[in-house]
Structure 1
């Protein structure tokens, strides 16, 4: 992965044919984020190496291929480009151009009943998506808290919220995830409760 891409979008997972091809890639409606304010384009990678690009009432069919190193060759109106694919999560695909410091970002709308037609739509979609994800992770996870130099836990956020409500502990106690080594993130119980 190029340093440029890694710095711009951290924590990308490389495309894995076995994991991603059938379930996350083929026949999915990928909305191109780059340039959406000018024109909306939907990319659908189909079997038999057909790439369908839809723009308003216009549908273009072109081709794509993948080699053994999971590097894609895609025929575009600008010619043949070579890209490496990464996933930010199951719904966000990044195609990194192998010849230039540029990439294309796509959002999979196949599983959602939402129209992405503008930057504002994309911002709203991503905000809601990650807000739900964070709430679910926080709700199911456990945390330690520290009070008067002593560590307690681990407890779920729900339990911590009950302890705060009953006055047993302060909402301003520092917390750490069960997988963290220290309290350097300076997160408080109050911060967790606000995310629920």
Structure 2
């Protein structure tokens, strides 16, 4: 079952009590992505093990608990379920059902200015979030480029963009991040420049 989740959503970080509990988890408004097109549900995990589930004008109070292996038990309409918690990012939570090949994905709406009420709102949130993240990563990282079978660098993207602008190198040269070992991602300077 763990493979099912990680094949569907790669690069998940397991819930870490010290790192996530107080700063990322408790008293945050977690909007349930699954089924948002039918009804919006907001889950708020309280420090006193109360779970508030808000739907329109209705608030359901139930309970949750965590054990020393970071497994959660949550009382739902269907009974008590056991889940493992993972973070895709600081504001994307995934609860993986330990008894079925099912998971629930949540977005922390506490740090987001717009309402998340539909699939389109979720898509806009993710697009905006990852566009900012990619721009930040690209801007801060250094890259090697390969031209005529020789490797040059590392350079920041702004330096590569200037070299392209002055005609010193082609925008179609392949690049690799300093942490990568080859050019198998087939990323070009032009691709980096477009993300700035």
TM-score normalised by the shorter chain: which range applies?
over 0.9
1:77-125 Cα offsets, whole Å, 9 max, x none, are 1111110100001010000001111011000011111111111110111
Unaligned segments of structure 2, at least 5 residues: none
Tell me how far apart the structure 1 counterparts of residues 37 and 181 of structure 2 sit (CA, whole Å): 44
- Cross-structure match for 1:100: 100
- Cross-structure match for 1:77: 77
Q: Give runs of ≥4 in structure 1 deviating > 4 Å.
A: none
Tell me how far apart the structure 1 counterparts of residues 49 and 144 of structure 2 sit (CA, whole Å): 51
Where does 1:1-196 land on structure 2 (aligned, <5 Å)?
2-196=2-196
Unaligned segments of structure 1, at least 5 residues: none
Please report how far the alpha carbon of residue 182 of structure 1 lies from its aligned counterpart in structure 2 after TM superposition: 1.2
Please report how far the alpha carbon of residue 3 of structure 1 lies from its aligned counterpart in structure 2 after TM superposition: 1.1
User: How many residues are treated as equivalent by the alignment?
Assistant: 196
Please report how far the alpha carbon of residue 186 of structure 1 lies from its aligned counterpart in structure 2 after TM superposition: 1.5
1:105-153 Cα offsets, whole Å, 9 max, x none, are 0000111111111111101110110011001100111000111111111
Question: TM-score by structure 2 length?
Answer: 0.98
Please report how far the alpha carbon of residue 187 of structure 1 lies from its aligned counterpart in structure 2 after TM superposition: 1.1
Question: TM-score by structure 1 length?
Answer: 0.98
RMSD, aligned CA: 0.8
